[in-house]
Structures are given as structure tokens and as C-alpha cells.
Amino acid sequence: MVGFVSSVRTIYTGPAATSFASGANETRHVAGGANAASGVEETSFAQTMADVLTDTAADLKSAEAASISAVRGEASAQQVVEAVMEAEMSLKTALAIRDKVVSAYQEFSRMTI
């Protein structure tokens, strides 16, 4: 999840670091020089989506492992709840992103050329 947020910040810039949250989305396309100087790594949209899905799958697996550990008596209820809540948040985020991508695709398909 943290990787996704940092990737979004590399894509969207604005007057402050909260530009993405505030809705002031200004897309910046910089080839090499400026990003290299600022230490920000550019990633593609496809790579960002792959990272989100990988992180979500990892969170789901860790929640499952925590649940199994709790059944065996090796983990506390608090650890299980924290792992499951993190997995739930990651899954909800991934589903929301998927819904927005599908919605955008449908909007593009309705456009006349």
C-alpha cells in the first residue's frame, strides 16, 4: 500500500504533497533529468497496478497466516485483527481502483471517434 501511495505521488504533483487527495491532479511527464535530480523514480501505470496487486495479495496471505497461527494458539487475537484489517483495507483499495479503471474504460468506449 505504501508503495502505491509513493507511486501516485510520482505521477500526480501539485502545490503540496496532498494534491492527489485534494483533487488537484496535474499529471507530470518528465523524461529522466528532473526526476533523477530529485531522487524520484518514475514508474508506469501498469507497474503501479502490478505493485498494488502484489501488495494486496501479500496482505491477504499474511492475514490468512495470522488466522492459522491464532487457531494453533501461536498468535494473539490483536495480531489477527490487525492483519485482517490491513488486508481488508488493501482489498477495498484494490477494488476501488479496479472500479475506477473499468469506469474510465467504459467512458472511453462510449466516445465517438
Residue 30 in this model has a pLDDT that exceeds 70: no
Does residue 15 carry a pLDDT above 70? Answer: no
Those residues with Cβ within 8 angstroms of residue 79's Cβ, 6 or more apart along the chain or in another chain: 66, 69, 70
What average pLDDT score do residues 24-45 get? 58
102 vs 27: which has the higher pLDDT: 102
Helix or strand holding residue 13 (H, E):
strand 12-13
Q: What pLDDT score was predicted for residue 102?
A: 95
H or E element, residue 4: helix 2-11
Cβ(90)–Cβ(55) under 8 Å? yes
Whether residue 96 has pLDDT greater than 60: yes
| Cell (9 digits) for 49 | 497496478
Average of per-residue pLDDT across 49-69: 94
Task: Tell the burial category of 69 from Cβ atoms under 10 Å away from its Cβ (0-12, 13-18, 19+).
Answer: middle
**pLDDT number for residue 42:** 83
Total-model pTM: 0.59
| Whole-number pLDDT of residue 72 | 94
Residue 105 has pLDDT above 90, yes or no: yes
How far is 92 from 38, CA to CA, in rounded Å?
A: 32
